[in-house]
């Protein structure tokens, strides 16, 4: 079964840090582009950070210099280190896996995890 499981969310004060994890099962993460998305109540879901199969990275402007995405293919895990958190970072964070045709994978659909809640508040 193809599955993504997020963890590491929680309640933190402004300026604090959290490290999110996305663990894959049922497929090899090395053949997939992985993205972190977030959705706050009443807001559209937005892409926060992505890492490609060749380690290219993307960050939304509002998190540049504060968030770092890394991947450990041997552990089938992608991390999102979040530092200097702000109240506007409060949201449910979701992991997404998108197959990269350049790797030769036969998968064609993308997959979502169930999400992990991040709350930044005093």
Q: How far is the C-alpha of 108 from the C-alpha of 96, rounded, in Å?
A: 14
> Is residue 48 classed as helix, strand or coil in its secondary structure?
strand
Q: What is the mean pLDDT of the chain?
A: 95
* Digit-coded pLDDT (tens) for 55-109: 999 999 999 999 999 999 999 999 999 999 999 999 999 999 999 889 888 888 8
Burial of 69 (0-12, 13-18, 19+ CB in 10 A): buried
């Amino acid at each position: 079964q193809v599955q993504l499981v997020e963890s590491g969310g929680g309640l933190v004060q402004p300026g604090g840090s959290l490290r999110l994890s996305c663990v894959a099962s049922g497929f090899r993460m090395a053949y997939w582009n992985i993205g972190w998305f977030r959705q706050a109540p009443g807001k559209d879901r937005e892409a926060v950070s992505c890492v490609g199969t060749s380690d290219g990275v993307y960050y939304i402007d509002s998190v540049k210099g504060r968030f770092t995405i890394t991947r450990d293919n041997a552990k089938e895990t992608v991390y999102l280190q979040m530092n200097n958190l702000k109240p506007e970072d409060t949201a449910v964070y979701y992991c997404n896996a998108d197959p990269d045709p350049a790797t030769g994978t036969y998968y064609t659909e993308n997959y979502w995890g169930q999400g992990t809640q991040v709350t930044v508040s005093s």
